[in-house]
Structure 1
Amino acid sequence: MRTGSEPVQARSPLRLRCGLAVWGLAWALAGTVVFAELGRPGWAIACGVLSAVTSADLFMVVRHIRQGPHYQPGRDVPPYEPVKRDGRGRRSGPRNPPP
């Protein structure tokens, strides 16, 4: 819900997240190979699963970067009105007006 207090120029750090995902993917792949060579199948599988998760995250980050900026309402758009509630925590007014 938009309250009107959001920063006007807020941006997601996707490039930093992309770099960290590449770094994590490199280490996870290296761990998979090293543990497989050392005969530690449990650790190799764990690193392989981590590689899959990191690859999926990297895919989504690159997808979001390629999509570009999305629509953000400007300063001329007022914040949304919060739902009005009575003292008991319920919405004020009838939910279903009588016919």
Structure 2
Amino acid sequence: MRTGNEPVTARSPLRMRFWLSVWGLIWATFGTIAFALVGRPEWAAACGVLWLIITADMAMILRHIHQGPHYQPGRDIPPYEPPYEPPRTG
């Protein structure tokens, strides 16, 4: 349903973001360990920083998922109705 007010009623695909974060977390962990073992501390540090960012994002995503359907509606909850605006005259 396109109404023109999507920024107001937008929903975030939190479950998809969660699984993408899991994928990123696996690769950042792998990169940190691999670069540390090969002797590339700069790249290991970069992957470690990325790992921290992904972990913080995943914590926020999980918090929003646990807050319930107000923040993450399921398929059984219909889209929000756009606010009523009376017709303009003139």
Q: Shared fold by TM > 0.5?
A: yes
Query: What's the TM-score, normalizing by structure 2?
Result: 0.70
Aligned residues with identical type, % of pairs: 53
SS in 2 for 1:15: helix
The gaps in structure 2 that reach 5 residues or longer are 72-79, 86-90
Residue 95 of structure 1: aligned partner: none
Cα distance, 1:76 vs. partner?
8.3
CA RMSD of aligned residues (A): 2.3
More helix by share: 2
Q: What residue is the counterpart of 2:84 in the other structure?
A: 78
Q: What code does the residue aligned with 1:47 have?
A: C
The residue correspondences of 1:25-36 to structure 2 (distance < 5 A) are 25-36=25-36
Q: Give the match for residue 37 of structure 1.
A: 37
Change (3 A) 1:76 1:48: closer
Question: Which residue in the other structure is 1:61 paired with?
Answer: 61
Aligned length: 73
> Contact 2:29 / 2:47 at 8 angstroms: preserved in 1?
yes
C-alpha separation in 1, matches of 2:64 and 2:26: 21
Deviation at 1:46, TM superposition (A): 0.1
